[in-house]
A and B are shown apart, each in its own frame.
Chain A
């Protein structure tokens, strides 16, 4: 699976309770935020140009989500389910291999 969180992401699900009996006794968490796809916050989407990418991983380093992952071939890719489109990756990329493009929705 092409994502940073792999199986965890696949297993993540929304937890919604319809009866008080389903709630835990104390307010403790029951899952991760991986079920929350924040990709729809995005206006501009980062697009990676592998021809320019030098595999420095600066974009990976500075992604606040994190939504950038490293593929087996060493190039980076973006998990658009989570990427909010902040543009830090594009701004920090030393070779301008990432561009922010208006997203068709």
Chain B
């Protein structure tokens, strides 16, 4: 199942090379829909209890280097997988309608990017994760560089160098983690489930944490290392921008929850304040910039920085509520950003510009478009009742539990969001219609892509618990590493003082039988050990 979800996009892309150029787009759409369907089936049948991994795949891959092909899905990733498939389907469909040149290469690159992204969300092997994380860049480079607009070559180089600096350092960090804990784990292994149970010494954790944090913060992007974002957003073709803004940035946030906190718990606590401050700075800086810019893409770029700042805050509140909120907010933000970009494309088509000063009056003859846009805007500014509101509430609750001052300042971010979101809506939709602009209603083709996405926002607003209830256990499991000796590997049973744990997190009970060391099977509730009934 997971292998199919993982492999279908790239396989579809490869087969596309054999097809006539005319139908490649539709073939790719078919593939994207198929993977979306699989993802829906995955979510529908998902059992979130205990937060353990489900549908696990564990195959030998590069045994000599200790790398395994391990896929798995839990409450943290299941919705991100669905989200990826959903946005990709939207992007592919949109592209198929636009008919780009060199379609075979284009759709292959899209497929490769989807596989890499899904790989990040599904990987349970640290090295597989790093590999997919790096691999995402390759298709992105081509998509922006070859099909982008403006000064794209410079923008791509900037983007690649920025993001790869982090990810290559992360590669060293990952290898160092595996090699340095080889003595404890009994042979080099990159398996996350094993690594998290044998944390490294504090000092080692610190520098490796820095490497990982660098990779993820650049990718998110957070303030200070966001230099590539605006250029990339400007040059990126729109369907790709949906993915870049919607999904790829979430990989980084997900990486913090999946890898950094469980595997480097001591370092996470040590650097908690630093990251909170970075998150806070991102919120303030992103909001302020979004409010002053006039290009639509710039506004969204900076608002994304702000939103990712919220997510960082949630994660590094190191509390259950914050984590839940972050997971929810990741989905929310992606769902909001995607339709905004599509709407930008529509507006640009009708007015010939992406500058809000030259826009206005779009709502006149296009009530449906305006209605869709208002829904999206409301979600963006996290109006009470929207899922974004719930997400931010959770995040702030988490931060309040630990750092009150930061939470207070962060709350102002919500107000900022209202400012820039409403400004954007007003300037484009109301005001008089400028000359030369054309206020047209959505065409059927455009609606096919846009309406379902907005419907998702509405659906999630009605029932945000869909995500939080399923994510909760997994988030708690991620944070459990922060407790003192959570697994009782030191020999004694895990008699943990409540105070050692972050608020709202119970230490995970030690399993009855940690079958020797490296008992990946026993922990995840699958595999031979689980079958034999030793699992907790």
Q: Is the A/B pair a real complex?
A: no
